[in-house]
C-alpha cells in the first residue's frame, strides 16, 4: 500500500508541474488590449512576462527589451496584474493589405506575385507583389484602405512591393517601386498613426508622412515634385539627404541627390476653355518664363483620379483628340528646363462637338451675286441645318436665321452691299428629341456690286464693241450665245480690259454675258444675260448707232 501511494503521489506531482508552467504563458485575452492611433496598450494578466507579451503581440519575442525600456519596467518577472504595457506601432507585426482599382481607362495589364495574369477592371483587388503596366494613353488609379491614392499615367510600370498594415492599429506600410514612367501619390496623413509610404526607384527613395507628390523616372534620373506635405528624398540604401516642401522638386541621379528647386507656377489659360465645340480639344496658356513645355491631363473628376487622356507640347497650345462629348476637367502644368513638372492648374470644361457642323462651301471672301446663295456639304445623318447670317462677327445683328433647312443650301435673295458673316450647324434626331450641334467656323464675305450688263456700240465699219465697268486688276470672260442657256456659243473670249470688239454676226437673236476674275482669284457669276436682235446693221429707229442695251434690244434696219 505504501509503495503504491508513493507512485501515485509522484505521478500527481509530475502532472501538476506542467500545469503551473502553462499558467505562466496565459492565453491572449483580447479584452485586455486597447487600440490607439499609433500604439496599443495591453493590461498585464496573471502570469504575464514581457517575453510572453512580446511573443504574443509584437513581431519578435526579443522585443521584450524595448518594451521594458519604453514602459520603464525593471523586473520582467514581477509585472503586477493590470499594469499598462504600451506597444508602439513600429513593433507590431504586419498583416497583408490590398489595393483596389478605383479608376482606369485604356489598356492595363497586371501580373500577380505568383506570375498569374490579373484581370484589371473597376473594383479589382491587387495584392503585394503585383506588377502593373499602363499602355499608351492608358491610365490607372489605385485606392488603398486608408484612402490614399496611387495614379499611373501612360507608359508606366510599378510594383506593389509592400502592401501591409500594422496589426491592431491598421497603420499603413506601403512601398511602391517605380520601374518605368511616372507615379503620382496622394497619401492620407500618416503622422498620427505612424504609417509609412515610400516610392522606390532604381536610384532613390521618396518617403512621406502624408502628402501629394509625383515621382518620374526619366533615363538615369529620378524627378520628385511635391505639391503638399513633405517628402524625404534619399539615394537607395542611404539615409535621407533632402526634405522637399510644397512647391519644390529635385532630380536624383548617379551623382547624388540634387538640390531643391522651386516648381514653376500654375499656368493661366488664354481665351475661354470652358466650352469646347470641336472633337480636337484645344487649350492655350499664357507663356511662363523658364517653361520648356506644357503637359495637359484630362479627367472626369476634379481630383484627377480618373484620367482619360493626356498630351504634351513644346509650345503654349495643347491639343487632345479622342474624347466623347461630356463634362471634363483639364489639369495643365508647365515643364521646366530640367523636366520638373510644375504646380497644376485645374479647370472644368464641357465638350459639345457632335453632331459636327458641315463644311461650308460658299460664299467665301466675297460675292458679286444679286441673289446670294449659301451652300455647305451634306452631313449623312442630318435631319436639318441651322443657318445664320449676320452683319457682325458676334452674330448679334442677324439678317438670316433659318433653323430648319432640310437642304444643304439656301438662297438669301438680294442683300445690301457690305460685309457679312455666316455659319451653319447640324441637327440630328435623338431619342429625346432633336439635337443641334455646334456651329461651324464663321465665314465672312464682302458683298460687292454685281457686274453690270455690257454696253454695246455698233461701229460704222461693222464691228461690234462691248464695254462694262471694272475694277483694277480684273480679267474677264465674255460669252455670246445663240440661246439663253448658252449651250451653243458664237464667241468665248478672255480679255484683260473691260471691253472687246468683235465682227458683227449674221442677223438673228443672240445673248451676251460677262464674268470677272479678280486679282485674288475670285470668279464672279456671269452678269445677267442680255438678249439682242441683230439686223443688217445695229442702229436705232432714227438711224443712230446703237450705244446702250439694257434688257432686250431690237436692232434697227
Domain extents for the chain? 2-91, 94-262, 269-351, 360-447, 455-554
Distance CA 430, CA 450 (A): 43
Chain CA centroid to CA 65, Å: 56
Give the pLDDT of residue 221. Answer: 95
Give the pLDDT of residue 536. Answer: 57
Distance CA 517, CA 473 (A): 9
* Topology of the domain comprising 94-262: Jelly Rolls (2.60.120)
Select from 1, 2, 47 the least CA-distant residue to 28.
Answer: 47
10-residue stretch averages of pLDDT, the chain, 557 residues long:
38 33 55 92 92 92 94 86 94 97 97 97 98 97 97 97 96 97 96 93 91 95 96 91 96 95 97 94 97 98 96 97 97 97 98 97 92 95 97 98 97 96 97 95 95 69 80 94 93 94 85 92 88 65 48 43
- CATH code for the structural domain at 269-351: 2.60.40.10
Grid cell for residue 78: 514581477
Give the pLDDT of residue 544. Answer: 55
- Residues, the chain: 557
Options 3.40.50.1110, 3.40.50.300, 3.10.350.10, 2.60.40.1220; CATH for 2-91 is: 3.10.350.10
Fold agreement (269-351, 455-554): yes
CATH architecture designation of domain 455-554: Sandwich (2.60)
Q: Count other C-beta atoms under 10 Å from residue 318's C-beta.
A: 22
Give the pLDDT of residue 528. Answer: 85
> Helix or strand or coil: residue 25?
coil
Distance CA 371, CA 383 (A): 26
Biggest CA pair distance of the chain:
177
Options 3.40.718.10, 2.60.40.10, 1.10.240.10, 1.10.730.10; CATH for 360-447 is: 2.60.40.10
Distance CA 139, CA 528 (A): 64
Distance CA 369, CA 6 (A): 134
Q: By the 8 A CB rule, do 131 and 111 touch?
A: yes
Give the pLDDT of residue 547. Answer: 46
Pairing of β 553-554 and β 530-534: parallel
> To 10 degrees, the CA torsion angle through 254, 256, 260, 266?
10
End-to-end CA separation in angstroms for the chain: 174
Distance CA 149, CA 42 (A): 33
Distance CA 427, CA 124 (A): 41
Select from 419, 360, 352 the least CA-distant residue to 385.
Answer: 360
Distance CA 46, CA 26 (A): 8
Grid cell for residue 9: 503521489
Give the pLDDT of residue 271. Answer: 87
- Sign for the CA dihedral angle at 533, 536, 538, 543 comes to negative
Q: By the 8 A CB rule, do 263 and 248 touch?
A: yes
Distance CA 392, CA 398 (A): 8
Q: List the 345-351 sheet strands across, edge first.
A: 275-276, 345-351, 326-335, 293-299, 307-313
Distance CA 28, CA 468 (A): 113
pTM over 0.85: no
Amino acid at each position: 500500500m505504501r509503495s503504491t501511494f508513493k507512485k501515485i503521489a509522484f505521478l500527481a506531482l509530475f502532472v501538476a508541474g506542467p500545469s503551473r508552467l502553462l499558467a505562466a504563458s496565459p492565453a491572449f485575452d483580447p479584452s485586455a488590449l486597447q487600440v490607439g492611433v499609433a500604439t496599443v496598450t495591453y493590461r498585464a494578466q496573471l502570469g504575464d512576462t514581457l517575453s510572453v507579451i512580446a511573443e504574443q503581440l509584437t513581431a519578435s519575442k526579443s522585443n521584450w527589451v524595448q518594451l521594458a525600456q519604453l514602459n520603464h519596467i525593471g523586473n520582467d518577472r514581477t509585472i503586477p496584474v493590470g499594469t499598462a504595457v504600451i506597444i508602439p506601432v513600429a513593433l507590431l507585426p504586419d498583416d497583408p493589405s490590398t489595393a483596389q482599382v478605383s479608376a482606369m481607362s485604356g489598356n492595363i495589364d497586371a501580373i500577380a506575385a505568383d506570375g498569374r495574369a490579373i484581370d484589371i477592371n473597376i473594383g479589382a483587388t491587387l495584392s503585394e507583389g503585383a506588377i502593373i503596366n499602363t499602355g499608351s494613353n492608358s491610365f490607372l488609379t489605385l485606392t488603398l484602405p486608408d484612402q490614399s491614392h496611387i495614379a499611373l499615367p501612360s507608359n508606366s510600370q510599378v510594383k506593389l512591393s509592400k502592401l501591409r498594415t500594422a496589426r491592431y492599429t491598421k497603420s499603413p506600410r506601403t512601398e511602391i517601386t517605380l520601374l518605368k514612367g511616372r507615379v503620382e501619390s496622394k497619401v492620407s496623413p500618416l503622422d498620427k498613426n505612424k504609417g509609412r509610404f515610400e516610392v522606390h526607384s532604381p536610384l532613390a527613395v521618396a518617403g512621406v508622412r502624408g502628402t501629394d507628390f509625383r515621382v518620374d523616372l526619366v533615363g538615369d534620373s529620378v524627378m520628385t515634385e511635391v505639391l503638399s506635405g513633405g517628402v524625404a528624398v534619399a539615394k537607395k540604401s542611404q539615409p535621407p539627404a533632402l526634405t522637399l516642401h510644397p512647391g519644390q522638386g529635385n532630380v536624383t541621379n548617379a551623382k547624388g541627390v540634387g538640390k531643391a528647386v522651386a516648381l514653376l507656377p500654375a499656368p493661366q489659360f488664354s481665351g475661354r476653355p470652358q466650352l469646347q465645340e470641336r472633337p480636337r480639344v484645344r487649350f492655350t496658356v499664357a507663356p511662363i518664363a523658364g517653361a520648356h513645355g506644357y503637359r495637359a491631363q484630362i479627367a472626369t473628376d476634379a481630383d484627377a483620379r480618373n484620367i482619360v487622356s493626356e498630351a504634351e507640347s513644346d509650345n503654349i497650345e495643347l491639343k487632345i483628340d479622342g474624347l466623347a462629348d461630356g463634362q471634363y476637367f483639364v489639369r495643365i502644368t508647365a515643364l521646366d528646363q530640367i523636366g520638373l513638372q510644375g504646380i497644376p492648374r485645374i479647370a472644368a470644361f464641357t465638350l459639345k462637338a457632335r453632331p459636327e457642323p458641315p463644311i461650308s462651301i460658299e460664299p467665301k471672301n466675297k460675292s458679286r451675286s444679286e441673289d446670294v446663295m449659301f451652300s455647305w456639304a451634306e452631313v449623312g445623318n442630318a435631319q436639318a441645318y441651322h443657318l445664320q447670317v449676320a452683319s457682325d462677327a458676334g452674330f448679334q445683328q442677324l439678317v438670316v436665321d433659318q433653323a430648319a433647312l432640310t437642304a444643304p443650301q439656301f438662297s438669301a435673295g438680294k442683300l445690301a452691299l457690305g460685309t457679312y458673316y455666316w455659319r451653319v450647324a447640324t441637327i440630328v434626331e435623338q431619342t429625346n428629341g432633336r439635337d443641334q450641334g455646334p456651329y461651324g467656323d464663321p465665314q465672312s464675305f464682302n458683298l460687292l456690286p454685281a457686274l453690270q450688263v455690257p454696253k454695246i456700240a455698233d461701229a460704222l465699219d461693222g464691228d461690234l464693241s462691248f464695254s462694262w465697268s471694272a475694277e483694277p486688276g480684273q480679267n474677264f470672260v465674255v460669252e455670246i450665245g445663240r440661246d439663253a442657256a448658252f449651250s451653243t456659243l458664237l464667241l468665248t473670249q478672255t480679255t484683260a480690259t473691260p471691253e472687246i470688239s468683235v465682227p458683227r454676226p449674221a442677223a438673228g437673236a443672240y445673248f451676251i454675258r460677262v464674268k470677272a476674275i479678280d486679282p485674288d482669284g475670285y470668279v464672279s457669276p456671269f452678269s445677267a444675260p442680255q438678249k439682242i436682235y441683230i439686223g443688217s446693221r445695229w442702229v436705232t429707229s432714227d438711224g443712230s448707232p446703237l450705244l446702250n442695251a439694257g434688257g432686250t434690244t431690237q436692232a434697227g434696219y
